Structure 1
Amino acid sequence: MGCCSARCMLIILCCLQLITALERQAFDFLGYQWAPIMVNFLQVVMVILGLFGAIQYRSRYVVMYLLWTLLWLGWNVFVCCLYLDLGGLSKDSDTLTLGISSHRSWWKENGPACDLDSLPSDGWTNQQNPQLTTVLRCWLEYQYIEVLHCTVQLLVSLLGFVHACYVVNAFADDDDNFNFNPEFHHPSKPFQLLF
């Protein structure tokens, strides 16, 4: 197989998936979002298995990667729907934190170009809850950053799925065409034994 083969592309896509999954894992740890932390960990493990399968010509590992990719695609669609409040889901629910903590996305307070502005009324400054005294203005709201993360994962995973299907098919073709001992199975001499 050449350098630009489907196997080579699958290896590159798996490496890209590892990088993006680890980046996402870091920000989910910062936000104490336990459900994404567990799913991202499984993503890292399955991508490593797929990478190993592609490098070592092991179709079973690539098939495991394929099956996991279907679940991963579903998870990312779910997270997109959650952050966009689609289908009865709400980004303010405790779904991603599993009800263990009250934390939310790390990007909510730390988004790009976020500024804290005080409310104009001085009456609000005497409140006990500091969230009432400030307004957060961001260049890009946190839910769109999370949806952007999911979209990147969806695109890379779809490409990986297509290339993995092709690689599994190519591995199966190679297994079918493999002739262990060409002299023993020669069509003109079917029963010849080698001594």
Structure 2
Amino acid sequence: MRAMKVKDAEILIVPGYTNSGPDHWQTRWEAKLSTARRVEQAEWTKPVREDWTANVAQAVNAAERPVVIVAHSLGVSTVIQAIPQFRKPVAGAFLVAPPDVANPSIRPRHLMTFGPYPRDPLPFPSVVIASRNDPYSTFEVAEDIAAAWGSLFIDAGEAGHLNADSGHGPWPEGSMTFAHFLSRLEPPKLH
């Protein structure tokens, strides 16, 4: 098995609610990784599940190379809900800070329209990284859903929401973890 490299993949950056700003690790990775591109949404502050999932599915289905997804927060929910619309195989998904979209106290409340999560094992290798003090999900909920999906689960410690506001602009640990994850992926067989 040969290790997958950035140039072998189409890396889809899938931000969450309100998009990832200039200091966010997703934006930095997009600038640094030659084959990365962001899945744009028409309404970053008023997410509509059908629109968001359609945009992710369209990006996956238009890819010329094996797809590796890098999703943060509501982007994770979007990716999971979009899987039935994928027509091309995904090599892997790097899923960071999944929110608890089944929690009625989540704010803004319309984020619940992205839940509940399907609990079927994901059809591709995945990593879920969660923090012990994420305001959008308990650690236990993240750990439970990662187990249901068959994802490798990584404990990020007390890291908040793993975004620029919690001090994760550069996020070198995330970058190293992603490089390791990528190196273990096998390009899927394209039909």
Per the normalisation by structure 1, the TM-score is: 0.24
User: Computing the radius of gyration over CA atoms, which structure comes out larger, 1 or 2?
Assistant: 1
| More helix per residue | 1
